[in-house]
Structure 1
Amino acid sequence: MTKTLRQRFADKEFITAPGVFDGISARIADRLGFPALYMTGYGTVASHLGMPDAGLASYTEMVGRVETLTSVTSTPLIADGDTGYGGLLNVQRTVRGYEKAGAAAIQLEDQEFPKKCGHTPGRRVIPMADMVGKVKVAVESRDSADFLIIARTDARTTLGLDEALRRGEAYAEAGADIIFIESPESEAEMEKICASFDVPCLANMVEGGRTPVVSRDRLVEIGYALAIFPATGFLAVGAALNSVYSTLKQEGSSVGVTAPMDNFGDFTRLMGFQEVWDFEKRHAQD
């Protein structure tokens, strides 16, 4: 039986969660045996809409992405729920919808609407008391205690680390299961964050972002319980596609492509065609 995320945290397991953003990335990550996957808002909005993660995707669009990803995976999915898509009633609907769609945890943040992606400039936060209300509603709206509430604050960048820590403490007291202080700017700040809370803390490892990307062992030493790598997958995909498409444009053929490519047959089976073939064989008419 697969452990719940709550059980893993209780057992002091460190969790690395890769960012997934569509059915292909989710299927690939799912087969590798991670303890959790992370539905990245940046990657999901970019993949689904071809637009920036700047509050443009609706609740309906995002909960649909949650349902798509959980339908093709068995690994617990941590899903980005942005600001809850509005006020307290919206938060209630979002939590219930994400849980019903199969997510194992939801991340909610204290940004003003329209939100902006973490590690980007111009992020502004709502009053702390307003976010405390959102966390309380999120906790009371879930059906199962195993559905975890991750409370994120973006206060570090504009208001400083002390304010971010003050908010994190308030969100933990409101019932958040995991605290996510976004965008610390040094390992010393990361250490201070983890030393400030009794609940698990989340590290957001963004290559090229504001926070140092460090090794697994260093994350454990610092005190984090969970690290998400939201951008790693789509940054790799972007580089590979740019390389492959450039070769096609220059040569008019895939002959000469240097980027690694999966075997077509293996990839076809990964995407579920073996089940289609087996179904057709079972139901073939004489």
Structure 2
Amino acid sequence: MEAHDGISAKLVQEAGFRGVWASGLTTSAALGLRDSNEASWTQVLDVLEYMADATTLPILVDGDTGHGNFNNVRRFVRKLCERGIAGVCIEDKLFPKTNSFIGEAQPLADVDEFCGRIKAGKDSQTDDDFVLVARVEALISGQGMEEALRRAEAYHRAGADAILIHSKKSDAAEIFEFTERWANRAPVVIVPTMYYATPTDLFRQAGISTIIWANHLMRSSIAAMRETAARIHEDQSLVRVEGSVATVKDIFRIVGNAELEEAERRYLPARPAVSAVVLAASGGELAGLAAGQPKCMADIRGQSLLARLVGTLRESGVRNVSVVRGAHKEAVALQGVRMVDNDRHASTGEAWSLASARDAIRGETVVAYGDVLFRRYILDSLLTSRADVVVAVDTLGATQSRPGQRDLVVADRRFSGDYLDDSPATLRRIAQDIAPDEICGEWMGLARFSARGAEWLREEIAALEAEGLLEGADLPALLTRLAAKHPVRVKYFTGHWLDVDTLTDLAEARNFT
């Protein structure tokens, strides 16, 4: 399968292919250049080095004409071997090359001169397993089957390990004629870009060794990037595209962030672990769920809502998770988390539940409602904030009301609407009874406290307790009190989270990835 850089090579391996075709066309296109040797062979080598580092699959390089005469070929082959490349394919055309599908009757190299390139390449390889594939362009240039067979035999005698026979017809008839007459004297490679409708099993039956799918990752990425760019330009917003593109989390997974995190644990000084307290004591049953099933345990495509939430926390490095449960507590269970019981859940509020787990509020701490889902980038943004207390606020909450909306936010500065706007905003109040013209957004039920911020939080819990207000206080009241004494940073986001209160919300959660 074609690849043109490190990440596309990783995707080829992930898809299950047995080898990578480092296409000259798509490597050039990725650099914004034409497929006419405009990228120097040293630039191509740089790309190949990244690809070889990115995958354990063998890479067959589209070497065009060999980047010159025999001397260029032998140096190129040596450099490929140094980088662990499995092989190169060179074509019997003139340098600089022209793509096979441009124009008609392209001139071909002299057979003896091209055989010299093949011999030079084989003499220069430093790896016994390195392969050199000779690409025959006679059918493409209109010189016919006899010339194709004559050239293939000459290249085979010169030492080519395999023959790539190329065709631009829409059916595979001349490919099958070639393979029948060639009689498998050396392995045959094909590129069915034009005759793609031919079933692959027919190629197997014809004894063809290798099929190259030559340029389809590049072509598919161009289509996707063009559509995304046009939509963002039209909307001046990411709202329509964010749910349809690969997540940043997927990029981290593909490029191997997990290995880096493991290496950091091995080689860097240990840093204090981040803890989390998840509030799931109220139960909040949903109509339609089994009797006695708290909504935090509602099924979201084979995982509970709570498991999805905790999974997002762990992906962001939050390992020590405490869950405060109450209603139907026997039904709230999740491996690897600490359960804290609020047996007074029926007569107390969220602040009391948080106080039940106050021993977990030590060092950097995340506090979250147990019935919310959010994209990981939102949590990552809070975790990288330098503020001692930071809350996630959805700007859509200022414009789109919904039933049960209670965590409305007033801050000292509204979101400007600019995607790059990161000017600091400070919390003034979170409540339900806020005038529409004051609303800056809706709190997502997610907050992060630094070690110092966690101290402030414990102090405010103690103050509520001393004043006899802890039992009835909710988190908006607690955060509002905290904001009156200390700076509480507001981080604005636009959507990409869910508060699961209704069956409609639950249906949306099952499509939330």
Q: Quickly name the TM-score band, shorter chain normalised.
A: 0.7 to 0.9
Q: 1:70 and 1:113, CA in 2 relative to 1: closer, same or farther beyond 3 A?
A: same
Q: Does 1:115 align with 2:102?
A: no
Find the counterpart in structure 1 of residue 192 from structure 2.
205
Match of 1:228 among 212, 232, 248: 212
In structure 2, the partner of 1:136 is 119
1:67 Cα deviation (Å)?
Answer: 1.3
Output aligned runs, 1:93-242, within 5 Å.
Answer: 93-121=75-103, 123-158=106-141, 159-185=143-169, 186-197=171-182, 198-206=185-193, 209=194, 211-242=195-226
Q: By how many angstroms is 1:64 displaced?
A: 1.7
Superposed displacement of residue 212, structure 1:
4.5
CA distance in 2, matches of 1:90, 1:120: 25
Matches within 5 A, 1:239-278: 239-257=223-241, 260-278=244-262
Q: SS of the residue aligned with 2:211?
A: strand
Distance 2:101 2:211 in 1: 15
Letter in 2 for 1:195: E
- Matched residue count: 265
Secondary structure of the residue that 1:229 maps to in structure 2? coil
Distance 1:223 1:285 in 2: 57
Report how far residue 184 of structure 1 moved: 4.8
Which residue pairs with 1:285 in the alignment? 269
Amino acid at match of 2:173: A
| 1:257 Cα offset (Å) | 2.9
Change (3 A) 1:258 1:273: closer
- The structure with the largest helix share of the pair is 1
Q: For the residues of structure 2 that align with 1:214 and 1:25, how far apart are their CA atoms? A: 26
Bigger CA drift: 196-205 or 171-180? Answer: 196-205
CA drift of 1:260 comes to 4.4
Per the alignment, do residues 184 and 195 of structure 1 end up closer, same or farther by CA in structure 2, a change over 3 Å counting?
Answer: farther
Letter in 1 for 2:186: V
**What does the per-residue CA deviation read over 1:103-134, in whole Å, with 9 as the maximum and x for residues that have no partner?**
11110111111101232225321111111111
Deviations 1:3-52 (A, max 9, x none): xxxxxxxxxxxxxxx000011111111223321111011011111x2011
Q: CA, structure 1 residues 97+77, in 2 after alignment: closer, same or farther (shift >3 Å)?
A: same
Q: Which is richer in strand? A: 2
Residue 56 of structure 2 is aligned to residue 74 of structure 1: yes
Partners of 2:144 and 2:224 in 1: CA distance: 37
| Partner residue, 2:438 | none
Give the 3-state SS of the residue equivalent to 1:169 in structure 2.
helix
Q: Is the 8 A contact 2:13 2:55 kept in 1?
A: yes
- Tell me the distance in 2 between the aligned counterparts of 1:62 and 1:56: 10
Aligned partner of 1:38 among 8, 11, 21: 21
Computed over aligned residues only, the root mean square deviation of the Cα atoms, in angstroms, reads: 1.9
Contact in 2 for aligned 1:104/1:147 (Cα 8 Å): yes
SS in 1 for 2:10: helix
Identical columns (%):
29
- Among 80, 84, 88, the residue aligned to 2:70: 88
1:137 CA drift (Å): 1.5
Deviations 1:35-93 (A, max 9, x none): 1111011011111x201111212121112222111011101111111111111111111
Deviates further, 224-233 or 26-35: 26-35
User: 142-151 or 212-221: which moved more?
Assistant: 212-221
Measured after TM superposition, the shift of residue 171 of structure 1 is 0.5
Residue aligning to 2:302: none
**TM-score under structure 2 length normalisation:** 0.49
**Which consecutive unaligned segments of at least 5 residues does structure 1 have?**
1-17
- The verdict on how the C-alpha distance between 1:266 and 1:184 changes in structure 2, with shifts beyond 3 A counting, is closer
How far, CA to CA, are the matches of 2:172 and 2:110 in structure 1?
27
Bigger-Rg structure (1/2): 2
Give structure 2 stretches of 5+ with no counterpart.
271-513
Correspondent of 2:34 among 42, 52, 68: 52
Contact 1:96 1:142 in 2 (8 A): yes
Measure how far apart 1:177 and its partner are.
1.0
